[in-house]
Amino acid sequence: MSIHKVEGIVLKTQPFRSSSLIVTFFTKEAGKIRGVVKGVHREGEIRQAGFEIFTRAEIIFYEKRRSDLHLISDAAILESNDPIRNRLESIVYGSYFCELVDELTEVQDPHPEIFELLRTAFRFLSVVPPEKLTTVFTVKLLGAMGWIPYTDGCVSCGARPLEKGYFSVKQGALLCEACRSKDGGAPAITPVALALLRVFIRNEMRECLEHSHFSYALNEVQRLLTQFLNFRIGKVLRTKRFIDSVRSALVK
């Protein structure tokens, strides 16, 4: 076994046997890694703190060559992100970010930009409306994964510029009026929502978060992205179902 020291963010944990945990991190250097932390419950709360969801830590792990479940020996906290845990809204949306990253990424496939994206999203959780942050985060994550929606023109005939059209959930791209028949289920996207989506695709995260917009346009973009994600992943994420079920309570 080879030993590694990496910087990672805890995406999730699950109990393993009587006193251990299986922890999933997204690391800056190695992408997503999963590992067993032995004896964590026997050694008290201080050790457990390094493996709480949202925590950014320096991790030491022993890589197993024949398994993607490694042995994690230690985690030194770099950033606890405790403010996220102080509000239900932050916990819910922070958990969604973690689940989305976990679902879309492969084990040990490095994406440093996703690590930084997650860190940035955590910092903005307490100051930016979560619905907008979630939409921008989703666009940027799709971009990092190479799944970014194509909005430059019609994906079928190449017609451009398009100021309105239809969003093919199957292709993650625009269709013009003439080509809509190739995906009869493609919903229309309004000019305002299309313009907002292009802003989110083409600009840095901070600029996107500062960009003014109509609430209905944001809702439309979010709805289309959710349909696209559900189609690509093949399911609705657990945290997304929870957000939808408690949305009215979260906005009060």
Looking at residue 247, its pLDDT comes to 73
pLDDT digits (tens, 9 = 90+) for 177-231: 999 999 988 999 999 999 999 999 999 999 999 999 999 999 999 999 999 999 9
5 and 60 in contact (C-beta within 8 Å)? yes
Long-range contacts at 223-230 (CB < 8 A, ≥ 24 apart): 224/167, 224/169, 224/187, 224/189, 224/193, 224/197, 225/135, 225/138, 225/139, 225/142, 225/149, 227/169, 227/187, 228/149, 228/167, 228/169, 228/172, 229/100, 229/138
Domain boundaries, the chain: 2-80, 89-250
Q: Does residue 57 have a pLDDT over 60?
A: yes
Looking at residue 147, its pLDDT comes to 93
For residue 71, list its beta bridge partners: 36, 62
Cα separation, 56 vs 179, whole angstroms: 47
Architecture of domain 89-250: Up-down Bundle (1.20)
pTM over 0.85: yes
Backbone torsion region of residue 158, taken as left when φ is above 0, otherwise alpha when ψ lies between -120 and 50, otherwise beta? left
Percent of the chain with pLDDT over 70: 94
For residues 189 and 250, the model is more confident at 189
Q: What is the mean pLDDT of residues 121-142?
A: 95
Query: Which CATH superfamily includes the segment(s) 2-80?
Result: Nucleic acid-binding proteins (2.40.50.140)
pLDDT digits (tens, 9 = 90+) for 5-34: 999 999 999 988 777 899 999 999 999 999
Q: Does residue 73 have a pLDDT over 70?
A: yes
Q: What is the mean pLDDT of residues 228-239?
A: 95
Looking at residue 205, its pLDDT comes to 95
Q: Do domains 2-80 and 89-250 have the same CATH topology?
A: no
Q: What band does 249 get if pLDDT is binned at 50, 70 and 90?
A: low
Q: Cα 66 to chain center, whole Å?
A: 28
Q: Does residue 251 have a pLDDT over 60?
A: no
Looking at residue 38, its pLDDT comes to 85
Looking at residue 47, its pLDDT comes to 57
Looking at residue 248, its pLDDT comes to 65
Q: Does residue 44 have a pLDDT over 60?
A: no
